Amino acid sequence: MKIKVLIFARSFLANYASEIDSDIFDTIFVVLTKKEKELIEAKGKKVYGCFEEEFSNIKESKINGDYLKTSFSSDRFLCRFDLKKRLEILGKEITFWRSIIEKTKPNYLVNESISIEISEVMAIEAERYGIPFLSDLQGFFPYTFYWKPSPFDGRLNDLSTIKPNDANLLKAKGYYNDVVEKGYKPFYIIDSLKPYGYSLKNIIASLYRDTILYIKKKKLQRITTFRYEDDYSFFSYQMSRRLFNRIIYSYDNIKDLKNKQIIFFPLHIEPEAILNYFAEEYQNQVSTIENIAKTLKPNQYLVIKEHPQQKGALLDRRYRDLKKKLLNLIYLPAELNCQDIIIKSEAIVTLTSTAAWEGVLFGKPVFVLGKIFYDQCPGVTKIESIKHLKEEIRKDEYLYPQKEDVLNFIAAMISIFNKGCATPYAKESFKQNVMDYTIAIEKAIQKK
What residues does 135 pair with on adjacent strands? 111, 148
In a domain, residue 415? The reply is no
Q: What is the pLDDT of residue 219?
A: 57
- Binned at pLDDT 50, 70 and 90, residue 195 comes out as low
Average pLDDT over residues 430-446: 92
CA nearest to 311, candidates 254, 380, 228, 251: 251
Chain segment 10-24, per-residue pLDDT in tens: 988 888 889 999 999
* 17 and 130 belong to one structural domain: yes
* 203 and 264 belong to one structural domain: no
Taking CA atoms, 347 is separated from 154, 261, 297, 322, 401, in Å, by 22, 9, 12, 22, 11
Print the domain residue range for 286: 260-401
Identify the weakest region by mean pLDDT among 175-184, 192-201, 274-283. Answer: 192-201
How many Cβ atoms are within 10 Å of 205's Cβ, its own excluded?
13
* 302 and 354 belong to one structural domain: yes
* 322 and 435 belong to one structural domain: no
In a domain, residue 184? The reply is no
Chain segment 160-181, per-residue pLDDT in tens: 888 899 999 999 999 999 999 8
Residues in the chain: 448
Cis peptide bond N-terminal to 271, omega within 30: yes
In a domain, residue 175? The reply is no
Q: What is the pLDDT of residue 274?
A: 86
pTM for the model: 0.89
Give φ, ψ of 285 to 5 degrees: -70, -25
Q: What is the pLDDT of residue 191?
A: 52
**CATH number of the domain enclosing 367:** 3.40.50.2000
* 303 and 231 belong to one structural domain: no
Task: Note the helical H segments in 188-284.
Answer: 200-221, 233-248, 273-276
* 41 and 91 belong to one structural domain: yes
> Which residues lie closer than 8 Å to 324 by C-beta, 6 or more apart?
none
In a domain, residue 339? The reply is yes
* 202 and 77 belong to one structural domain: no
- Binned at pLDDT 50, 70 and 90, residue 232 comes out as low
Chain mean position to CA 385:
21
> Which residues lie closer than 8 Å to 31 by C-beta, 6 or more apart?
8, 9, 10, 14, 37, 40, 47, 49, 50, 51
The residue type of 25 is F
In a domain, residue 242? The reply is yes
Average pLDDT, the chain: 90
- Indicate if the pLDDT at residue 259 is higher than 70: yes
* 124 and 32 belong to one structural domain: yes
How many Cβ atoms are within 10 Å of 41's Cβ, its own excluded?
15
Is residue 30 within 8 A of residue 47, CB to CB? The reply is: yes
Is residue 247 within 8 A of residue 203, CB to CB? The reply is: yes
* 239 and 268 belong to one structural domain: no
CA nearest to 123, candidates 93, 81, 85: 93
Identify the weakest region by mean pLDDT among 265-279, 284-298, 311-325. Answer: 265-279
Number of domains in the chain: 3
How far the first Cα of the chain sits from its last, in Å, is 17
Q: What is the pLDDT of residue 1?
A: 79
- Indicate if the pLDDT at residue 420 is higher than 80: yes
**CATH number of the domain enclosing 62:** 3.40.50
* SS3 category, 169: helix
CA nearest to 440, candidates 423, 411, 417: 417
CA–CA gap between residue 7 and residue 15 (Å, rounded): 12
* SS3 category, 148: strand
* 220 and 272 belong to one structural domain: no
- Binned at pLDDT 50, 70 and 90, residue 193 comes out as low
Average pLDDT over residues 425-430: 69
Q: What is the pLDDT of residue 236?
A: 72
* 100 and 200 belong to one structural domain: no
In a domain, residue 69? The reply is yes
Which range is most confident: 9-13, 230-234, 387-391? Answer: 387-391
Is residue 258 within 8 A of residue 341, CB to CB? The reply is: no
CA–CA gap between residue 273 and residue 114 (Å, rounded): 7
Q: What is the pLDDT of residue 3?
A: 94
- Binned at pLDDT 50, 70 and 90, residue 246 comes out as confident
- Binned at pLDDT 50, 70 and 90, residue 216 comes out as low
Q: What is the pLDDT of residue 238?
A: 75
- Binned at pLDDT 50, 70 and 90, residue 242 comes out as confident
* 222 and 277 belong to one structural domain: no
CA–CA gap between residue 258 and residue 330 (Å, rounded): 12
* Helix axis angle, 354-361 to 166-182, nearest 10°: 100
Q: What is the CA radius of gyration of the chain?
A: 23
- Indicate if the pLDDT at residue 108 is higher than 90: yes
In a domain, residue 179? The reply is no
In a domain, residue 20? The reply is yes
